[in-house]
Every structure is written in C-alpha cells, then in structure tokens.
Structure 1
C-alpha cells in the first residue's frame, strides 16, 4: 500500500501517517520526490485499511499496489517523473525533454577530461559523464584514478558548468563520490549490490541505475525500489544492453525495454548505446533508435584520442561520428515532441 501526500503536506503531516502505521505494527518508508512525498507501507494490508489514512491532514490519496516495486510503479504515480541533476545549474531528465550526456568512459588526466568535456559540450551535451572508479572484468585493467579522478571532474565542472555523472562501485566510497559528483551512477555489475543501492539511496543525490547485463526488467525495477525505499525517488534508469547468444556486438541493446519500463514505472529511462555496442560505428544508429522509441536521453563515450584511451577506446566518438550524433540530437527529438534539455536548464 502507498500513501501519496499532497504537495503542501508538512513534516508533521508525514510523521502523523508514519506514527499511525507503526502503531499497528506496520513499516512506513518515506520517499521524497521533487513535488510529492510518498510513503510505502509494509505489513498487514487489512490493518492499514482500518486506519482511515485518507482522513489524515496532508494525505492526497492511498493506493493498494499489486506491483512488487511499489514506490517506482506508475500505479500510484501515474505521471512520469522528471529528475533534476546539479546544484547551481540544474539539468532535467524526464518525459518532456531529451538529455544528451557525454564524456570519457574513464578520467585519465586533467587535460584529457577537459578536452573530452569541451567536445561533448560543443556537440550539445548538457551533462558530463566520466569514470573515476572503474569496475573492470580483468583485475589487470585500468581501475580508474579514484579520488584524484573525482577532483579532476570537479575542476572540469568548474571550467565548463556541466554537472557530473560518475560511477560509485563500493558503498564505502559513496560519501566521497557524493561530495564531488552531481549524480551517482550504479553500473551494470553492481545493479544487484543491495548494500550499495541502499547507500546511494541515502546519499541525497540523484542516481543513474544501469540495467544488469543479465537482469530482467522486474529485477531492474526492484533494484530501483531499494534506492527509493531509502528515501530517494530521484532515480534515472539506463538500458545499456543485455547479454545474449549474439557475439557481433558486446551486448544486445534491448530497445523494447524503454517503452515497457515507461509504461510500468514513472522513472525516466535513458539509453547507453556505447556500452551496448562496444563499437563506435553503431553508436549513432542506436542513438537514433533510442530517440525514436521514446528514450528520455542517451549517454555516450567521447575521447580526444580513442586509440590511446585506457578504457573502451573502440566505442568512443570523435570527429565525424560525434558531429553526426550532434546533428541527430538537434533534429530528431523536436520531431518527436521533445525539447532539448538545454532549453529547460534551471540556474540556481
């Protein structure tokens, strides 16, 4: 069961609902979104029905939810959500806009990161992605610069004004990453790392949650529910390809997951064509497909010198491919009723 509070509900109103639920042995999980507070109830449904929660001050509605993911479901939140990323400069990700996120897969040096950010910004990107911590399949591969990489990203944000999206791979690092980044990314290998999901849910920053390479859509949404239960509804889902029998690409981009999830959950959904394909020649076509199917944005790799990249150089865009993607981002979303996110940026 879910209690939806009205936009003008006070902290005292929320506390009154929580107290009444706990008085009958129930558990109340408070999640605060941009305009609404939602309280997910766990316990005996019949007991909750006798509480007359709708009569309490500040309660807008009460829903009985059948989906196992209660807080991220559209059953209690029929309108799709917009997540704002950044502090002084806030970039929207949501149903009315198309958000272009780009940057280097890994932060290598200050110069390389700044150059990649400038390339991304010139192509129309409004958010900068860059990896300071890199979970790699091989323990011998480049694992990222860690805190030094975070400091480089913060410096590049200062120079460009672009809010930062970066991955956190360990619950112990959530605090330091949140101190530097505007959005915390949970990667495919950590989608089912429940301790990490709960930690980012408590960090007070928006979260980009990538789909696990072998995860079903329900498992993906249940991972988002872990974050929401810790009080954070500012979650953006990212389809980045799943593992199938097909070896022609690194992963198989499940483009149908975008409308399926949007029909089920109110959370924004973006696509990562770079990590899906692992080949730069497929990034632009897959980005066009993402736009056509209604994705709320794309996140792609760019690098000033892909051949020398320490991570995922074959998929990084440069020159002709980046210009082609920039053209597609300018032309296609408006045809589909979307506004470029740069036109809705809020200056705090």
Structure 2
C-alpha cells in the first residue's frame, strides 16, 4: 500500500551508532527514572544503569500527566541534567518531547527522542521529527492499530529520517488489573511486516513491577530488539510512576537474563534458517 511505502517494503536499513551503541546489531537496554527530579538524582541513577549493564539512560524532562496538578518535569533544566549524566557515563540518553516548540532545544541535549503514546498520532510533531537526523523511539498509542502505528512511523520515514525504533508499550483494553495490556503479538507482527527495530516497555505495558521481568523476557522470544524499563533507587519517593519502577539490582537481573535469552533466541533462529 502506498500509504505504507517505507514500512512495508521492508527496506534494508543500515545499522548506525549512537555513541558506542550499534542500532540494528546490539540489544537495546534503556533504563532510568520516569522523571528527572534533580541533577544529583539522574546522575546517580545513570551511573547505576551503566553499572548493571544498561546501554541507554532514560529520563523525563517534559512529563505528560493526566492531572494538570501532577509533577510536569523540570523542562530545560532536566535536559541539561540528563546530558550531564550521559557525558559522565558515556551512554546515550533519551527523553520524550511533547511539543514541536521544544524539539529544537531537545536535540542539543539528547541522543534519542521518544514519542509517547499520547503523541503517537500528533502529525505536526511527527513531520518535524522526519527532518532531523536523530533516532526516534515511537511508542504505539493507547488504542492505535498496528496499521495506524506504522502510518505514524511513515510520517517520520517519509520526511527523510529512517532512524525510527518502534516501542510496544501496551494498549488499553477492558482489563484493569494491569495498567495496560502488553501486546506481544504486535512485536511479532512488526518483525514480520517490516525491518524496523522494535523494543518493548513492560513498565508501562503492565504498571506492576512484579510482572516486568517476565514480560521483558517474553518479549525477547517474540522478537524484541530491546527493552525500556523504569528504574529508581528510591521508588517509594519517586515523583511519578514509582509503583512501576524497579530497583537497580532488579534491573541488573533482567539485563543478565536478557543477554542469555537473546543468545538462545539467535541460536534457535539460526537453526531455523539452516533447516
């Protein structure tokens, strides 16, 4: 279909580097707090992400919150602190941008831009992201279909930016035990339909820390190219989403198991190709 010219033609996207991370080759492990709360906090947690094997630091400077009275993030100061954490650790950093007006400044401080579920169909923002040469992690919307999600990616791809990474973060269903329903079939479908890398966000996908490890590992077997996990060393004091944040050691345990499982997956895929 012409409207999915780039996504469904299975273009061969070349691997590219973000600092030392090789997208298209390395398993992406993003960790960090939902919100950047202070300079000391993001640097402290950033060091722990590196210590426990993560290769990208996440942190929210601009926070989309359901209530206007909830913590909205530190804005530009948060970006400065996040960049500092990246400089100190040597790891790439990623943050979400909510507004086209913040994009020009954000690209000066971060290595990757995240588009959250609420903005998955904000076409003015997607068009601007197509004009920059920086990787974009595009989450699926709360109720978007796979086709709609790929159309959103197409806005970025057709603008000339082929550095798009999809992120499955759960969808809204009638289930209310979990925060969202994590759709691993979407991961397998994206791998079948496209050559775009896809990662998963089990923190938002479940909203329950006790489910994050199992869903992380399950997503690997579904074909995920990486995971994004919220990590906080004092989750009970977090200004946002503390209930779905893992402790650094818990994050490290998932990183270790993920490495083993990725090796198993690659061996199985190689055996399939031989057959």
TM-score normalised to the size of structure 1? 0.74
* Alignment partner, residue 5 of structure 2: 70
The 1:91–1:319 alpha-carbon spacing in structure 2 relative to 1, beyond 3 Å, is: closer
Report 1:258-269 matches (<5 A): 258-269=187-198
Could you say what secondary structure the match of 2:229 adopts?
Answer: strand
**1:91 correspondence with 2:21:** yes
Partner of residue 158 from structure 2, selected from 205, 229, 236:
229
The 1:327–1:192 alpha-carbon spacing in structure 2 relative to 1, beyond 3 Å, is: same
Q: Distance in 2 between matches of 1:313 and 1:273?
A: 14
Partner of residue 259 from structure 2, selected from 298, 318, 330:
330
Could you say what secondary structure the match of 2:232 adopts?
Answer: coil
Deviation at 1:118, TM superposition (A): 1.5
Could you say what secondary structure the match of 1:337 adopts?
Answer: helix
Q: Distance in 2 between matches of 1:292 and 1:67?
A: 31
Structure 1 gaps, min length 5: 1-65, 339-348
TM-score normalised to the size of structure 2? 0.93
Alpha-carbon RMSD: 1.5
* Alignment partner, residue 214 of structure 2: 285
* Alignment partner, residue 270 of structure 2: none
Does the 8 A contact of 1:100 with 1:329 survive in 2? no
The 1:187–1:319 alpha-carbon spacing in structure 2 relative to 1, beyond 3 Å, is: closer
Q: Distance in 1 between matches of 2:40 and 2:66?
A: 27
Does the 8 A contact of 1:127 with 1:162 survive in 2? yes
* Alignment partner, residue 161 of structure 1: 90
Report 1:167-316 matches (<5 A): 167-316=96-245
Does the 8 A contact of 1:281 with 1:321 survive in 2? no
Q: Deviations over 1:54-92 (max 9, x none)?
A: xxxxxxxxxxxx35311122x252x4x355352xx2412
Q: Deviations over 1:32-69 (max 9, x none)?
A: xxxxxxxxxxxxxxxxxxxxxxxxxxxxxxxxxx3531
The 1:193–1:312 alpha-carbon spacing in structure 2 relative to 1, beyond 3 Å, is: same
Q: Distance in 2 between matches of 1:76 and 1:291?
A: 21
**1:126 correspondence with 2:61:** no
Does the 8 A contact of 2:231 with 2:248 survive in 1? no
Q: Distance in 2 between matches of 1:211 and 1:84?
A: 23
Q: Distance in 2 between matches of 1:124 and 1:327?
A: 8
The 1:181–1:323 alpha-carbon spacing in structure 2 relative to 1, beyond 3 Å, is: closer
* Alignment partner, residue 13 of structure 1: none
Does the 8 A contact of 1:217 with 1:257 survive in 2? yes
Runs of 4+ in structure 1 off by over 6 angstroms are none
Larger relative helix fraction? 2
Deviation at 1:151, TM superposition (A): 0.1
